Chain A
Amino acid sequence: MSDQPQVVITDSSVVKLPRGVRLRRDPVRNHMVLLAPERAMALDDIAVVIVQALDGVKSVDVLSQEFSEKFHAPKDQIAQDIKAFLTELSNRRMLEIVQ
């Protein structure tokens, strides 16, 4: 079996949710949930904001800048958090890398 290159999420990465991974409100448990094959992850407010911003157009860098202004937080810290979260999603095959 050949070794596959692992995806590395960088500031220039552009990503979106692939088909088969979707965010919805769970009215019974009253939270937002990210659904994937055999997986249901309850997301906190910050994770929801990140997932909703994944449009397959804006890069991680652009998103970090926007969140930095919106939430008055240091951009570097936000970029770190986003990359860690997206790497987690990517390892679980819950992310499509557009670029």
Chain B
Amino acid sequence: MNVALSPVPTPRAPIAAPPPMAMLAELTHRCPLACPYCSNPLDLAKASEELTTEQWIDIFRQAADLGVLHLHLSGGEPAARRDLVELTRAAASFDLYSNLITSGVGLNENRIKDLADVGLDHVQLSIQGSSPISADRVGGYKGGYDRKIAVAGWVRDSGIPLTVNAVCHKQNMDQLDEMLDLAVKLGARRIEIATVQFHGWAERNRRQLMPTKEQVLKANQTVAEASKRLEGTLVIDYVPADHHSTYPKACMGGWGRIGLNVTPTGKVLPCHAAETIPSLIFDYAYKTPLADIWYNGQAFNAYRGDDWMPDLCRSCDRKSIDFGGCRCQAMALAGNAAETDPVCIRSPLRNQLVEKAAEDAAAQPGDFVYRGR
């Protein structure tokens, strides 16, 4: 008998990954605001589909065991969860650094005191603009601006440190100085200024949101000057517009290297937009241990290391700086998540991207397509 000997095919070994530093827990997709650049998916989870309190607490415990240090309690609007104080208490009991990412709507003075008492470490409050009329128009919620000002005061009184988060775009980028002023006035120690990322809802609002190159250059300059002037008063973290950059951003600090996202229904994602990549398989945190998902999950291993990269990226001297950029952007613009991020100056699609961005930037903005409305 002739037996053909061939090596047993070994399953592709997962690439060794460091333990995760951070977890974003999207407690709910419910939100009173309807920002046209919301990072939640187009298909929003219903309240009835959300994880229970016990399920979330078990996920927090697993995250802490896995090496997560920062826990971001986000949404939607996390204050829409009635168990927010209980969840925060649990996070503190696992020694997780808890950060509440909120619009402020749904918080009152007593609730903030309760959160402070159970050990909330930090609050990140979004602002949509520097005046009530412009901000409330972007958020799609009348009275939102005034509420945020009040919430910032209660947070300050509670002693919890405050970060202001400003997403900037075509229609508010010229208010950057005023938004920096507002952050200082509100007593924030830190501001995050992030240019809109064009996925999901923002992709539907490109003509309303895409900044011009001139706006971006001016914003870069404003931020550089303010960083110097406000050193020791306000820390500024800035995400510039990557459609106007030379190289792509190190998206998520590299795929499956730094952090993970858990959706309201318990699906575990390498980034909040990962569901736009159809070839990925996601696991649920209430079915599979979190450590197993992080180290062995198909979605997490899909773009780790450089095996997946096209030659252009694998041979590139920047691959350990930007890790190949944003996979979801490659999916959206090149039709293949394993392509070079079209933002990169070396991508063959770069010119197309720049032309499209310039066209949307020059366009007269129409009405916003509000999230979930």
Interface residues of A (CB under 8 A from B): 1, 3-4, 6-7, 18-22, 24, 26, 28-29, 33, 35, 37-38, 40, 90-93
Contact = CB atoms under 8 A, between A and B. Distances in A.
Nearest to A6: B232
Interface string B60-94: 00000111011000000000000000000000000
Label chain B's interface by main secondary structure. mixed
28 contacts: A1-B229, A1-B230, A3-B229, A4-B233, A6-B232, A18-B161, A19-B121, A20-B160, A22-B121, A24-B95, A26-B67, A26-B69, A28-B19, A33-B69, A35-B69, A35-B97, A37-B99, A37-B121, A37-B122, A37-B161, A38-B70, A38-B163, A38-B237, A40-B70, A90-B232, A91-B231, A91-B232, A93-B232
Interface residues of B, number: 33
Contacts of A91: 231-232
Chain A CB within 10 Å, residue with most, of B66, B124, B159, B190 = B190
B66 A28 contact: yes
A6 B226 CA distance: 13
Interface stretch (B135-143, B176-184, B270-278): B176-184
A1 B160 contact: no
Label chain A's interface by main secondary structure. loop
Interface in B183-222: 184, 189-190, 192
Contacts of B231: 6, 91
Contacts of A20: 121-122, 160-161, 189
Given A1-B229, A19-B160, A93-B189, A40 B235 contact: no
